[in-house]
């Protein structure tokens, strides 16, 4: 199964936003810079995360993005579904009922075995993603990654986060 590059970008951005302090935000352009992505390309995925209530978008000169809920309440499945949609990756087109050897539809009363197997695999994949919490991924990174990488990423977040004044409200 191949997921789009947007899934990787969305997960990395959410993980970065998990390091933003309190109600502070991070501009989309800074996240695009951090990952070498086009800001317009990343904006599409940040908007999908915002529409799915994973991120909040704060307007204005000190605006940007922040997590809409704690990282421990965000799973990789939440992010994948926000970016890729809820449709299964495999969609059976019932091609067994086409071609020169096709038979009457009454022959095909049992579900396609290939479809059954693929959907079973998809359920297992989604179950594994549902168990993977953003907070655990960030904690694993903080404890296992090369300290130079951790320091560089923490410095980037510190440099680019935008503190919010008290009374700021979020806009989705």
Whether domain 5-87+133-160 has CATH 1.10.10.10: the reply is yes
pLDDT band with cut points at 50, 70 and 90 for residue 167: low
In the chain, domain spans: 5-87+133-160
Could you read off the pLDDT of 119-149 as tens digits, one per residue? 999 999 999 999 999 999 999 999 999 999 9
Q: Which of 160, 170, 169, 163 is nearest to 57 (CA)?
A: 170
Contact 79, 54 (CB under 8 A): yes
pLDDT band with cut points at 50, 70 and 90 for residue 3: confident
H-helix segments, 52-99: 76-84
Could you read off the pLDDT of 6-47 as tens digits, one per residue? 999 999 999 999 999 989 999 999 999 999 999 999 999 999
* Mean per-residue pLDDT over the chain, rounded: 92
Contact 76, 11 (CB under 8 A): yes
pLDDT for 170: 47
Q: Which of 33, 2, 1, 4 is nearest to 16 (CA)?
A: 33
Using CA atoms, how far apart are residues 23 and 88, in angstroms rounded to an integer?
A: 35
pTM score, two decimals? Answer: 0.87
């Amino acid at each position: 199964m191949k997921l789009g590059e947007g899934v990787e970008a969305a997960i990395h951005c959410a993980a970065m936003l998990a390091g933003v302090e309190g109600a502070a935000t991070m501009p989309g352009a800074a996240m695009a810079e951090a990952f070498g992505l086009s800001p317009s390309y990343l904006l599409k995925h940040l908007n999908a995360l915002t529409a799915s209530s994973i991120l909040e978008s704060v307007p204005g000169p000190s605006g940007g993005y922040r997590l809409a809920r704690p990282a421990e309440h965000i799973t990789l499945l939440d992010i994948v579904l926000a970016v890729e949609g809820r449709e299964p990756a495999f969609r059976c087109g019932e091609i067994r009922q086409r071609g020169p050897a096709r038979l009457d539809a009454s022959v095909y009363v049992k579900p396609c075995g290939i479809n059954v197997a693929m959907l079973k695999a998809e359920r297992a994949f989604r179950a594994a993603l549902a168990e993977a919490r953003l907070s655990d991924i960030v904690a694993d990174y903080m404890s296992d990654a090369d300290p130079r990488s951790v320091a560089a990423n923490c410095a980037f977040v510190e440099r680019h986060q935008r503190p919010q004044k008290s009374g700021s409200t979020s806009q989705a």
